[in-house]
Structure 1
Amino acid sequence: MKKCVPTLALLFFAIALAAQETRLVQGTVTDGAQPLKDVRVQVLQGSETQAFTDADGKYQIRTGVGNLLQYSYNGMRDYVVRVEEGTRYLNLMMLPYVEELPEVTVTGSNRKTQKDLDIEYPVNPRIIRTAFGYLNADTAPGKVRLLSEEDIQPIGLCILDVIRNRFAGVWTTGNCQEGGDIVIRGPGSVSNQRVAVYDVDGLILRDAPIWLDVNQIKRLAVVSSIAYSARYGALGSGGVVIINTITGNPQGAKIKDQARLRNNYYKGDALDGAAVQNDLPTYLTELQEATTFDAAREVYNRYAGPYRSSPYFFLDAYRHFYDTLGETTFADGIIESNFSRFESDAALLKALAYNYQEQGRAEKALELYKDIFILRPQYGQSYQDLAVAYREMRFYDKAAGMYARYKYLIDENFLVESQEFSRIVQNESDNLLKVHGNQMGTDVRKIKTDPYVENTTRVVVEWSETEAEFELQFVNPQGQYHTWKHTYVDNEVRLLDEKLKGYSMEEQIIDNALPGLWQVNIKYLGNKSLTPTYLKVTTYYNYGERDQRKEVRAFKLAVENTWQKLLSINNPGNASIR
């Protein structure tokens, strides 16, 4: 039966009904060694429903699809998990909540003097030194956004690279060779093009310090508050970018191991595919050892009964028969006869769609993304996925229509916007119009795209399980790496944003700096359902150009807490991850 994407009228109704289905969610909560008793499991969003774990750490709670569950325990970090259509079991390991407080002496008043801040500066990353003295981000007038040295990617080319895409409402122009500007736009100031001034170790500069070695940056602050930037006079009308360097901080040199700060050279310790094979399930090992189709079919038939309740078994078998043996008809039969195990679970449908896209089976992938859209009309990701699927089928007008529909629902408050996700969607939408606009009757000369992503190698990573935690490591041709951490401990704000807005994707940009082979590694840390996570990596070459091309790879993540080599990217230009 053919599935149709709902019209706008039906879509509003579908979004309103999306969370009405209820189910029993159960699981176990531990501290990594022992079960935790009396962990509170509470339904958020106005509900009073809650449950507590027993002496074995077990709990049960009934809630609706789309609701958020919060896990709370004294002394432990709170966790928030979104209940989805496939959620039945949620098992958590809670970690201690540790807040490092600087050792300072407070005398007389809660208001700290410049001398107090000077003493506290080496150990409090919320303090930055300016041309007018120390500034405490927590007590300063207006909003101060800070990056510490651990947050600054050490292989960026210049300060423009460090700033790009790190702060909402902050834009950069130009490049690291010719220079550029940083524009800080406050609420409602879209037409305000005043550029920021720079305060580098107390030296005030009009032009962006592209000459500054980003490896030497200790702290960086973006200040848009008029109350503070007024100290810089007319120069500060566009806001201030404050930079403290390591060499410009004599106190910091006394308490920091400088080698540790930038010791980001890859040690070659990621497992390759052959090493990961040792952890394959028995049925997959036997399938790979079968030398003929008949032998492999016998293995499949022998295990199909015991694994009949596992959709992951059928996914593995499908990939083996399709990719390894080239038995496409038999492989498709495996999915067709077991599709009932997939059809009501968006995460499983995504896993299958990833495989179809890697295999170039765009029509089959499109049908699955339509199914996912019907299951998750309130997820921003559903619109992005369906737009890409339409584009792969060369239905460019329909792809553009999905982006327009997403923006309309944001404007009408039926969906909640995420700045992180909207940036990715904007890049995708702009690229669609620039590359295929002529075929859609659009004058591509009028399409303005983000210069940050133009003519780059763009890497888009998507994952099937929204609760998946992992670390991605990008190793450049010189052996230095940058790690993006998708973990609750390291990136809690981002993960909560994903749950609330409904997306599970990230983009990384490789631009014109270092030529050669890049290696992408991953350390999978698991998910709350104790099931495999499927990953899709789309690499775009010459992004936004006429000769733009892409490669799609799909991966099954099951081996945990071990660095594994994911793929290599042979960048045709000069490259630098930012």
Structure 2
Amino acid sequence: MKQLKLQFFLLAFGICVVGFTQENKNVTICWDVSLSMKNRDIDKEYYFLDAYFKTIQNADVTLLTFSNQVISKNDFTVASGNWSGIKENLNTIKYDGATSYEELGAYADKGEVLLFTDGKQNTSSSSPSFEGELYIINSNQDFDRASLNLLSIVNNGNLVDLLDKSNAKTSKQNQKEYSGKIYNGTQGLASAKIYIKSFPAEQVSSDIQGNFKIKGAVGDTLVVSYGNKVTEHPLDNNFALNFSFEESGIQLDEVIVTEKVPVQEEEITTAYGKENKDKIGYAVQSISDEEIAPVSTTVNNAVQGKFSGVSLGQNEDLSEVKMRPSNSILGNNYGLIVVDGVPMERSNSATGEIADTSFIDPQNIASITVLKGLSATNRYGSEGANGVLLITTKTATFDGPRKQKKDLARLTNNVYDGKIKVNSKTLVTPYLKELKKGKNLQEAYDIYLDQRNKYWNTSEYLLDVYGFFYASNREVAERILSNVLEKKDTSYEELRGMFLKSEESRNHKMALLAANKMLETFPNKIQPYFDVAMANKNSGNYQSALDMFNNIANGKANAKLNFGSLEKVVGTEIRNLINKERKNLDIKKVNQKYLNNLTYNARLMLDWNNPDAEFVVQFVNPQKRFFNWEHTDTSDKKRILDELQHGFANEQFEIVGADTKGDWILNVTYLGNRTSGNKAPTFLKCTVQYNFGKPNQTSEEHLVRLQDTDDEQQLAKFTVQ
């Protein structure tokens, strides 16, 4: 009679029952252990397996556990329906990581395949092909039916919905009293909650201390909950529980980096007066009032022919100044003019609009300086991409115009003499302190599993824990990081932090997943479009990358968004990608202006995950002089507002010229978030691309976590050849 009930249960789900056989059946159980599967109704699944094995009786079983990848493969033999060994293994499972079916088809053996999952595949979109009959079993209330249906159709398989209450069957027969003891290994008896999980779900709970007694039946699961720790124990005829809670720890070493830098002195005349040759941090061209002819009637006459690589427009107007190399993709190739620290309106080479510079009196000019490359973008960002012409008037050299902003481009007291202390201390948080108590990797991982519920809504938690485990076990670290994709309401800062972390460790597949998730969740920000393109490029998907870059450049990526803030970096990426991979690309739709190559000694890309963050990056050049690029509300309010409005967070710098070859240091000082109460974490990444645009181009990544306000730390150290 009991056997008939089991067969009826399986038939209710469409599983063919062929009766008993002495020959062992080949069965593969694919058990989803991703984080979302913590919510599975394991009693329903156990009841299913119990009915299944009591029907087929004898089987050679391969048990695969998987989340973002296949985690374990174990072989079992089931005889006379006894699958207790498999059940014992399943009871030890830890649920962690995102979900991928990509490897299952290769691991699964021939024969029937039982896939226990909720269909929430988020680290791939694969539909593996199985050689044997496929049964997909779900017990989660929140599941992706469309994904499961697709997988079932591809394999001509069967979808078993254990949530269908019409098929639910259980029995409370043979209940008896079970007993045990709960104790703390170091602090004596501990209070805990204990209850029985049954099918359908039913709880009998009580707060107990020390010895306990509770009624249950063989096959039931006893659950013990103590603080954040939850364990499950299958009941059998010989069950007795002795449950302990203990703590242990692990200590990590700290590394402190210090540096002493010699200083060399040699003065030259610049736009800022007598300065050390190396003080300005870059090569410049400058003229003084003595080199401006008295007969010059316009500022155009004062500039024309005075600087190499600098030319005026067809009308010989200063507002149409061009400085080689010109690499703007804005359609405007004219440089920026700054008078006494104030940027002037520019003419536009694309529209033909001409800005007025006639108000500048050539006889009132004290000096003119030309800035190119990093020296220009250092202070003026993308606005200085085509070079900057700095004009200092004689009026400004005395006491300066009133009510005028200070010329922040002027560099003072910027000798890097080794007295500046760079903080390289280890990141300290409450949860990292707890993890350090683990004596080994497994203990630290168990502590993480216990603590994660407490810190789950802390957006930097998974990112920091990923960094903690990465050096010891990359596989475990990436499983932890993939949990960001399991979250229902993931923040932009957390997703972009995941993207930056993945790119730093060159896990381009994970970076692409994070970028796609960003684009799906935040389609009204422009940065995710760029990140998807970058992740595709770094993954070797060159055509997909070019198509996205091109769509950003022409606005087709999203007609509702303004991608103007990304035009310069996108143009650089298009040119560089075509130069390196032209034979593998269809470039018919690419604008002709992007087909010329750009070359630099090095190109730097700064990326950060939190547009609200304020920080200052200090560039120390080979001559051991420094200058700063400020990402602050006070120094560039327009840029900050632009970032917040359009949702981008990057900047590029070009290192060009013989004087830039040598050792560079980048330090960063964190100033906190500009919005009061905003506790979003900030991760800052620097990508150094050596010999940019040349056949021997290479790159490296540097990433820091900005935590304490006013702390200075080293972002990157590299050598330009």
* TM-score > 0.5 by shorter chain: yes
Q: Aligned letter for 1:518?
A: W
Q: Aligned letter for 2:718?
A: I
Correspondence 1:262 to 2:412: yes
Aligned to 1:479: 624
Deviations 1:286-315 (A, max 9, x none): 545755213423443453343233242222
Tell me by how many angstroms 1:162 deviates: 13
Among residues 445, 459, 465, which one is paired with 2:610 in the alignment?
465
Of 338-347 and 373-382, more deviation after overlay is shown by: 338-347
Tell me by how many angstroms 1:535 deviates: 1.7
Aligned to 1:283: 431
| Alpha-carbon distance change, 343 to 540 in structure 1, aligned in 2, over 3 angstroms | farther
| Alpha-carbon distance change, 307 to 414 in structure 1, aligned in 2, over 3 angstroms | closer
2:508 touches 2:539 (CA, 8 Å); kept in 1?
yes
2:621 touches 2:664 (CA, 8 Å); kept in 1?
yes
Greater helix fraction, Structure 1 or Structure 2: 1
Tell me by how many angstroms 1:391 deviates: 0.4
| Alpha-carbon distance change, 357 to 343 in structure 1, aligned in 2, over 3 angstroms | farther
Of 429-438 and 342-351, more deviation after overlay is shown by: 342-351
Correspondence 1:317 to 2:465: yes
1:472 touches 1:520 (CA, 8 Å); kept in 2?
yes
Aligned to 1:364: 510
Among residues 500, 504, 507, which one is paired with 2:649 in the alignment?
504
Deviations 1:176-233 (A, max 9, x none): xxxxx97687346568999x999896399xxx97799xx9xxxx9xxxxxxxxxxxxx
Q: Aligned letter for 1:511?
A: V
Q: Aligned letter for 1:478?
A: Q
1:290 touches 1:296 (CA, 8 Å); kept in 2?
yes
1:156 touches 1:162 (CA, 8 Å); kept in 2?
no
CA distance in structure 2 between the partners assigned to 1:505 and 1:271 by the alignment? 26
Aligned to 2:695: 546
Correspondence 1:158 to 2:300: no
Among residues 436, 441, 448, which one is paired with 1:300 in the alignment?
448
Unpaired segments of 5 or more residues in structure 1? 6-146, 176-180, 221-239, 573-578
Deviations 1:216-271 (A, max 9, x none): xxxx9xxxxxxxxxxxxxxxxxxx9673367x976359x99xxx953211254555
Correspondence 1:380 to 2:537: no
* Bigger-Rg structure (1/2): 2
1:463 touches 1:534 (CA, 8 Å); kept in 2?
yes
CA distance in structure 1 between the partners assigned to 2:608 and 2:661 by the alignment? 28
CA distance in structure 2 between the partners assigned to 1:405 and 1:187 by the alignment? 23
Q: Aligned letter for 2:524?
A: Q
Tell me by how many angstroms 1:373 deviates: 0.9
CA distance in structure 2 between the partners assigned to 1:515 and 1:285 by the alignment? 42
2:536 touches 2:544 (CA, 8 Å); kept in 1?
yes
Q: Aligned letter for 2:631?
A: H
| Alpha-carbon distance change, 341 to 170 in structure 1, aligned in 2, over 3 angstroms | farther
State TM-score, norm by structure 1: 0.56
1:271 touches 1:565 (CA, 8 Å); kept in 2?
no
Aligned to 2:398: 251
CA distance in structure 2 between the partners assigned to 1:366 and 1:4 by the alignment? 10
Aligned to 1:569: 718
CA distance in structure 2 between the partners assigned to 1:362 and 1:531 by the alignment? 24
CA distance in structure 1 between the partners assigned to 2:558 and 2:371 by the alignment? 45
Aligned to 1:537: 686
CA distance in structure 2 between the partners assigned to 1:518 and 1:493 by the alignment? 29
Correspondence 1:173 to 2:299: no
Aligned to 1:434: 579
Deviations 1:444-494 (A, max 9, x none): 9x875788x513211111111121111111111222111111111111011
Correspondence 1:421 to 2:583: no
CA distance in structure 2 between the partners assigned to 1:537 and 1:289 by the alignment? 32
| Alpha-carbon distance change, 480 to 201 in structure 1, aligned in 2, over 3 angstroms | farther
CA distance in structure 1 between the partners assigned to 2:371 and 2:542 by the alignment? 43
Matches within 5 A, 1:122-133: none
Aligned to 2:296: none
Aligned to 1:520: 666
Aligned to 1:202: 363
Matches within 5 A, 1:340-419: 340-341=486-487, 344-409=490-555, 414-418=560-564
Tell me by how many angstroms 1:328 deviates: 3.1
Tell me by how many angstroms 1:345 deviates: 2.0
Tell me by how many angstroms 1:441 deviates: 4.8
Flag the structure with more relative contact order, 1 or 2, with Cα contacts below 8 A and sequence separation at least 6: 1
- Equivalent residue of 1:369, what SS? helix
- Equivalent residue of 2:554, what SS? helix
Tell me by how many angstroms 1:155 deviates: 2.9
CA distance in structure 2 between the partners assigned to 1:485 and 1:161 by the alignment? 30
CA distance in structure 2 between the partners assigned to 1:337 and 1:249 by the alignment? 57
| Alpha-carbon distance change, 474 to 409 in structure 1, aligned in 2, over 3 angstroms | same
| Alpha-carbon distance change, 197 to 173 in structure 1, aligned in 2, over 3 angstroms | farther
| Alpha-carbon distance change, 281 to 183 in structure 1, aligned in 2, over 3 angstroms | closer
Deviations 1:63-84 (A, max 9, x none): xxxxxxxxxxxxxxxxxxxxxx
Tell me by how many angstroms 1:342 deviates: 6.9
> Identity, % of aligned pairs?
23
CA distance in structure 2 between the partners assigned to 1:494 and 1:365 by the alignment? 26
CA distance in structure 2 between the partners assigned to 1:427 and 1:476 by the alignment? 23
Matches within 5 A, 1:235-250: 243-244=391-392
